[in-house]
Every structure is written in C-alpha cells, then in structure tokens.
C-alpha cells in the first residue's frame, strides 16, 4: 500500500497553462515533502521541496502548496513550457535517515 498517493496519472496542457499535480499522505511523521522531475532515460532529480512549517514555497515557475491539516500537497507549474514535459513524482520523508516514499508519478505533456 503506497504511503503517498498521487494524481492524476497523466496530464496534458497547452503551452502557458498551469498544470496542477496533487498528493496526499497518511503518516504524520513525514516532515519533508519534495517533488522530483524525471526525463526519459534519466534518474529523478529534485525540483522543489517543502517542510510542514510553511504553507507555500515558490522557486521560479514552480510552486508547492501544503495543507498540513488535510495532509495534502500539490505542485503548480506556472506558464508551462514544452521543456517541462516529464514525469513528476511527489515524495515524503520523516525522521533521521528515514527512507523516502514516492507517489506513483504523473506524466506531464505540454503541447506547443
């Protein structure tokens, strides 16, 4: 049973659109919530991450919104570009050196 549930499985938007990917978790011991971006044939790479003491974090065109009470967090990509087409994974981690658990992934396609 996955500890982090991610939706949607796939997403297609037009260039300039704002794709939103959602994740939910159950384990309240999680205290680090990253998003990873993966291009075909490559390993996942950290895109942006948030800790539960803040409700929002922005880095460039990427924003994480975090709702601690609902145990949900989401990724928003502003002014999306074809180069953003990739698979995105949410994840969660807690405790010292604890393992990181990933969502199932969302395949994003941004059409020109």
Partner 1 sequence: NAGVTQTPKFQVLKTGQSMTLQCAQDMNHEYMSWYRQDPGMGLRLIHYSVGAGITDQGEVPNGYNVSRSTTEDFPLRLLSAAPSQTSVYFCASSYASAGAGELFFGEGSRLTVL
Q: Which residues bind partner 1 (CB under 8 A)?
A: 2, 6, 9, 32, 34, 41-46, 49, 89, 91, 93, 96-105
Residue whose CB is less far from partner 1, 77 or 92 = 92
Tokens, residue 93: 């981690």
| H helix runs in 3-83, sequence order | none
Tokens, residue 6: 């991610």
Residue whose CB is less far from partner 1, 17 or 109 = 109
Residue 78: other Cβ atoms inside 10 A:
13
Residue whose CB is less far from partner 1, 40 or 83 = 40
């Amino acid at each position: 049973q996955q500890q982090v549930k991610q939706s949607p499985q796939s997403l297609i938007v037009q260039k300039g659109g704002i794709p939103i990917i959602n994740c939910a978790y159950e384990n309240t011991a999680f205290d680090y919530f990253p998003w990873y971006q993966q291009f075909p044939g490559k390993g996942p790479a950290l895109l942006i991450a948030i800790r539960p003491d803040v409700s929002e974090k922005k880095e460039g065109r990427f924003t994480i919104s975090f709702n601690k009470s609902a145990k949900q967090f989401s990724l928003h990509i502003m002014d999306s570009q074809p180069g953003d087409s990739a698979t995105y994974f949410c994840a969660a981690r807690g405790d010292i050196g604890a393992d990181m658990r990933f969502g199932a992934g969302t395949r994003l396609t941004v059409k020109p």
